[in-house]
Each structure stands twice: as structure tokens, then as C-alpha cells.
Amino acid sequence: MKFVRALASMLCLAAAVHAAEETPPPVAVDQYTGPKGIDLQPAPYPESERKSGAEGWVIVNLMIDPEGKPYEMTVGDSTGNPVLEKAALEQVAKSRFEPATMNGKPIDAGHKVKLEFRLTGETTAMLIDGRLE
């Protein structure tokens, strides 16, 4: 009887060791939070474009550093008006952002901002999260 109990205990122990070996270790998941505009303002409408009736939009691709300052700004897409593109780049350069974080630590991150210039309303600026549709 003692032999049967000992054998049963050894089998249970072997099964527990085998199960522990098959259990994968926990996977760490990084927590990313994207940047947010703090003082992102619409660009002033260039007077020459207002007088000529030009409207349009500009998407600015940029990097945001861990202090929330934009850098490496480029025009990603636009309606093709170089004056509006210049105004959009200048305005984004003046903006400040809450930086992106990885696991709570501020990091450099890429982002996009779309600025629209409309004669019938106010110019607008918005942060674009994710893909443009």
C-alpha cells in the first residue's frame, strides 16, 4: 500500500513538473499612448490666398520629441498650394504637444496634423490618429 501511495505521489509530482514546463512565461506588453495637441491652433490664412479665393488643406507629417516639441516637419499631402503648405508648416512648428509615451515614459514619435483653409468658415487644425481614410 505504501508503494502505491509513493508511486501515486511521484506520478502527481511528475505531472506537475511537466505542466510547469509547458506553461509559457508571461509576455510583457508595451503600453503606447500617442501624442496629443496641447496648443495646436489653426494656421493664419495667408492674405494673398484669401484675396485670390484659394482654399485647401495640408497634411503635415512630423516627429514629436519627449518634451512635446515638433521636429522634422514635412508636407505629407495637400491640395498643392505651396503658400498654404508653408503656412501650415510654420503653424505646426509653433505648436506644442503632449508627447507619446511607452510604458509611461515620454518618447519620440511620428504623427500627422491636418490643417484646412476655408474661406466660408474658420481654418481648422486637427491631430490625426492612425491611418487617413
At residue 131 the predicted structure's pLDDT band, cuts being 50, 70 and 90, is very low
Q: How many CB atoms lie within 10 A of CB 68?
A: 18
Quick: pLDDT tens for 73-105: 999 999 999 999 999 999 999 999 999 999 999
Q: Can you give the pLDDT at residue 119?
A: 87
Q: Can you give the pLDDT at residue 133?
A: 31
Considering only CA atoms, which of 91, 104, 105 is closest in space to residue 41?
Answer: 91
Q: Can you give the pLDDT at residue 39?
A: 84
Instruction: Give me 4's grid cell.
Output: 502505491
Q: How confident is the prediction for the chain on average, in pLDDT?
A: 82
Residue where the block lists cell 491611418: 131
For 53, which DSSP code? T
Q: Can you give the pLDDT at residue 110?
A: 96
